[in-house]
Structure 1
Amino acid sequence: MSELRNRMIQDLRLAGLKHGTADVYLRAVRQLAAYYMTAPDRISERQVQDYLLYVRDDLGVAKGTFEPMLAGLKFFYVNTLGYEWPLLTKKKSASRFRSVSRTLAAMPIAAA
Structure 2
Amino acid sequence: MGKLREQMKMDLKLKGYSPKTQAAYLGYMKNFVRYFGRSPAKMGEEEIREYLYHLVTERDLGDSSINSAYSALKFFYKTTLCRDWNVAKIP
> For this pair of structures, how many residues does the alignment match?
90
Q: CA deviation at 1:64?
A: 1.8
* Counterpart residue number, 1:78: 78
Tell which structure's C-alpha radius of gyration is larger: 1
Report the 3-state secondary structure (helix = DSSP H, G, I; strand = E; otherwise coil) of the residue aligned with 2:61: coil
* Counterpart residue number, 2:39: 39
Structure-2 separation of matches of 1:26 and 1:3: 13
Report 1 or 2 for greater relative contact order, CA contacts < 8 Å, sequence distance ≥ 6.
2
For structure 1, the 5+ residue unaligned runs are 96-112
Let me know the Cα RMSD of the aligned residues: 1.7
1:68 partnered with 2:86: no
Q: CA deviation at 1:37?
A: 0.6
1:4 partnered with 2:36: no
Q: TM-score, normalization: structure 2? A: 0.88
> Could you tell me the percent identity over the aligned residues?
28
Q: TM-score, normalization: structure 1? A: 0.73
